[in-house]
Amino acid sequence: MDDDADDGVRLDGVPLTVEDVVRVARGRASVTLDDAVLDRVAASRAIVDGLADDPVPHYGVSTGFGALASTSIPPERRRALQRSLIRSHAAGAGPLVEREVVRATMLLRLQTLATARTGVRPEVVRLYAGMLDADVVPAVHENGSLGCSGDLAPSRTSRWSRPARARPSRPTARASPAATPSPRPA
């Protein structure tokens, strides 16, 4: 991790520091992506695309998940499978997580995506960085539908946060109950 400017954090394959995460989480640092990171992400995605076209089943790419792992998904339904997975994880309840916690989670997810080990499209990596830079922070509830899945509850909301599909909260927006984190119980 190196800083190109006093307030910038550059994702270049070097691990983030605690200071990097705090600066981005609190909205004081921009995020930039190294071109080599995007090249590696694109190469990783090409592997996933190849698996999707392979007649041999590949878990979660050409099959269902969990108990449906042995169920083959026809090629014309595979995009719908991925969309349905995200939708199924986009439920939440309870108080909203604080903005800086969501921003930190988004940065950490971005760092993971930038490792080029997840098979996402480069556009997803750019979207995360762009959301952080534009201070578009999705409303993430403390309780999700995923139980033991840890970071998936906030991550699914971040992935789902697109116009007409989620209501991101912005510091400049007029506060409303849906966009204002509830105080945590003592």
Task: Return d(Cα 19, Cα 61) in angstroms, integer.
Answer: 36
Phi, psi of 178 (to 5 degrees): -75, -20
What is the DSSP code (8-state) at residue 159?
H
Cα radius of gyration rounded to whole Å, the chain: 18
Phi, psi of 30 (to 5 degrees): -85, 165
**Cβ proximity of 138 and 157 under 8 Å:** yes
- Which residue(s) pair with 9 in the sheet? 31
Q: Point out the residues that are catalytic.
A: 59
The alpha carbon of 66 is separated from its chain's Cα centroid by a whole number of angstroms, namely 21
Phi, psi of 8 (to 5 degrees): -100, 145
What is the DSSP code (8-state) at residue 26?
T
